[in-house]
Amino acid sequence: MIRTTLGLIALFAMIAAACVAFGAYFSYVTLQNAHRNAVEARFSITAERIAATAQFAASLGIALPAQTTLSELVAREAGGTRVYVKLHPAQRIETAAMVRALARKTGNLVISEASIHDLTQASEMVVTQNSAAGFEALMQRKPVITCA
């Protein structure tokens, strides 16, 4: 009788723990979705896949004859997926102009003024080059592609 009672108590404790764990997970997922929805509404960002930073070698003063910007590469390889680009605050004027021209040309590239944190939250992956944005995306548990 005592052995059965102890077994039932252990069973009920495991069920209660599972319910608490499920409740905590459900609350976490609900909060994540609510935050994503708020970000999308606030900045008109749809979570259509990719955020990219607009760094490339020429912005560092390195001229390469066959230079392809990271933004151009991502836009080309993304197919019809919308790619949000966040220009670096210290971006050179020439580089920013090139990226804006590329956005007009491709149709799937969007220059975003949203904060990098909100943009990352609303995206499903981040592509970056030598940027802390990649580390921040990892902290938000987003897949990151880094290019050196």
CB-based contact 82:106 (threshold 8 Å): no
The string over 27-56, giving b where at least 16 C-beta atoms fall within 10 Å of a residue's C-beta and e elsewhere, is eeeeeeeeebeebeeebebeebbbbbbbbb
Query: Domain locations in the chain?
Result: 1-43, 46-146
pLDDT 10s digits, 85-113: 888 888 788 878 888 888 888 877 888 88
Is pTM beyond 0.85 here?
no
Amino acid identity at 80: G
pLDDT for the residue 39: 55
Q: Which one-letter DSSP state was computed for residue 59?
A: G
Tell how strand 144-146 and strand 83-86 pair up: unpaired
Residue 137, number of CB atoms within 10 A of its CB: 26
Q: How confident is the model at residue 63 (pLDDT cuts 50, 70, 90)?
A: very low
Q: Tens of pLDDT along 5-54? A: 656 566 556 665 654 555 555 455 555 666 666 655 555 545 455 555 55
Helix 93-106 / helix 70-77 crossing angle, nearest 10 deg: 10
What fold characterizes domain 46-146? Rossmann fold (3.40.50)
